[in-house]
Amino acid sequence: MQIVQADAVAPREVSGHRTGHIEFQQLMQGERGALDNFELSRVHNHASYYTPRHRHNFEQVRYVISGEFEYSARKRMKAGSVGFFPEGTPYGPQNVAECIMLTLQCGGPSGDGFMSYRQLHDGHLELAKLGTFKDGIFTRAEASNRGPGVRKNQDGYEAIWEHVNGRKLTYPKPRYSEPVIMYPDAIDWSAGGAPGVERKLCGIFDRNVHIELVRLAPGARLSVSAPRAIQLLYALSGRGTADGRPWTAECAFKVARGERGEVVADAETTLLHIGMAEIAAKTSATRAA
């Protein structure tokens, strides 16, 4: 089991392809080029952050730690809510007030994998030589010699993805009409299968993506196995040990495919548990280089 404390990870900007100020504490990453590649980050959205309406060829889970997240016009996630943003489903425009979120971005059933933040950063720098990014849109300069079928104005992320991968991005057909927003406060705790363990199941989605909260009483033990997909946890509160190593609140845990881990609580603890999609681990269509 991998464990990472958020306060040990310095915040930084990942890319300038959107408008405004957003900082990422990159807690955990998957394997670049794998179908189940991912980035798990604690994200600080500052009040100036904006994106146009857009969609992705990867999936996202967002948990609002503090503040509010306006994910679409007049639609907001409040603190304590969790959202599933499926690949191919449009959302936005985002006009984000001050908020802090835990954000998972990962490969989905389409098989396009997930372009790493490093690729996103480098692709943005390369494309910035050929045009400008403004309000989340990339506009190619007249002198950039764009080829046939290449649009002058394009979503910033889409433009970077196509530049990195050397091909047109084809979006998967939406499986959901819009993001699914869940309110754990309205869900009752239920027995969690072990002494001192309780669960709030928020949702189960395609390829067995599942999102739940887990509450541990002092001394309780949570065993997590990952026979078919990566399992991620984030400590919203509490402290204890994981495979014998100490952890406190705002710690992230990863149980890799084929592994098993155990989290022990020394104080009352609440964990966010995300089971990623059960998809092949290798040979992503996203170029690794």
H-helix segments, the chain: 117-127, 156-165
pLDDT band at 44 (very low <50, low <70, confident <90, very high): very high
Look at residue 149 in the predicted model and tell me its pLDDT: 64
Question: From CA 56, how far away is CA 88, in angstroms rounded?
Answer: 6
Average pLDDT of every residue of the chain: 93
Look at residue 285 in the predicted model and tell me its pLDDT: 47
pLDDT tens for each residue of 116-159: 999 999 999 999 999 999 989 999 998 776 666 678 899 999 99
Could you give all domains of the chain from N- to C-terminal order, each with its CATH number? 184-275 (2.60.120.10)
Look at residue 18 in the predicted model and tell me its pLDDT: 87
Look at residue 50 in the predicted model and tell me its pLDDT: 87
pLDDT tens for each residue of 51-88: 999 999 999 999 999 999 999 999 999 999 999 999 99
SS3 (DSSP) at 125: helix
SS3 (DSSP) at 131: strand
pLDDT tens for each residue of 202-247: 999 999 999 999 999 999 999 999 999 999 999 999 999 999 899 9
Question: From CA 131, how far away is CA 91, in angstroms rounded?
Answer: 25
Average pLDDT, integer, range 180-190: 98
185: pLDDT strictly greater than 70:
yes
CB 217 within 8 A of CB 270: no
pLDDT band at 97 (very low <50, low <70, confident <90, very high): confident
Question: From CA 76, how far away is CA 271, in angstroms rounded?
Answer: 23
CB 103 within 8 A of CB 126: no
Angle between helical axes of 117-127 and 156-165 (0-180°, round to 10): 100
